Amino acid sequence: NAGVMQNPRHLVRRRGQEARLRCSPMKGHSHVYWYRQLPEEGLKFMVYLQKENIIDESGMPKERFSAEFPKEGPSILRIQQVVRGDSAAYFCASSPPNGGERTEAFFGQGTRLTVV
């Protein structure tokens, strides 16, 4: 059972381009979380998705950022018209459905986005 897979591991984009970050959750996991980590800072919640639904996007900027988790395929975090301030590590975590109080969330290795 492979862990949470994120790709690419490193992504370089010029200002104004689009960035697409992919997250394949662990097998059987239907909950996906995206977090952003700026250099020397902690992880900040962005969005929580279940299959085909956005449950909580309170941490995601209203403009240029969007996320989806389709019925088939990976979850995608999309950043349009990137700016230098978007440079960060983006982590994805997944957890199984209806896991209860002891539900574990497993993290991927992150995608490091650099905007030049």
Partner 1 sequence: KNQVEQSPQSLIILEGKNCTLQCNYTVSPFSNLRWYKQDTGRGPVSLTIMTFSENTKSNGRYTATLDADTKQSSLHITASQLSDSASYICVVSARDGTDKLIFGTGTRLQVFP
Per CB under 8 A, the list member of 34, 35, 65, 69 interacting with partner 1 is 35
Asked whether position 43 contacts partner 1 by CB under 8 A, the answer is yes
Which is nearest to 19 in space by CA: 89, 71, 73, 69?
89
Distance between CA atoms of residues 17 and 3, nearest Å: 30
* Region from 14-22, 66-74, 76-84, 99-107 binding partner 1, contact rule CB under 8 A: 99-107
d(CA 35, CA 102): 21
Site membership for partner 1, residue 18 (CB under 8 A): no
Q: Which of the stretches 13-21, 35-43, 64-72, 79-87 binds partner 1 when contact is defined by CB under 8 A? A: 35-43
Q: Taking the complex as a whole, how short is the minimal distance between the CB of residue 80 and partner 1, in angstroms?
A: 25
Q: Nearer Cβ to partner 1, position 13 or 31?
A: 31
Smallest separation, CB 81 to partner 1 (Å): 27
Q: Kindly state the tokens that stand for 3.
A: 């862990």
Q: Which residues of 27-59 are buried (b: 16+ CB within 10 A; e: fewer)?
A: eebbbbbbbbeeeeeebeebbbbeeeeeeebee
Tell me how far the alpha carbon of residue 13 is from its chain's centroid: 17
Tell me which residues touch partner 1 (CB under 8 A).
Answer: 4, 31, 33, 35, 41-45, 48, 55-56, 91, 93, 95, 99, 101-110
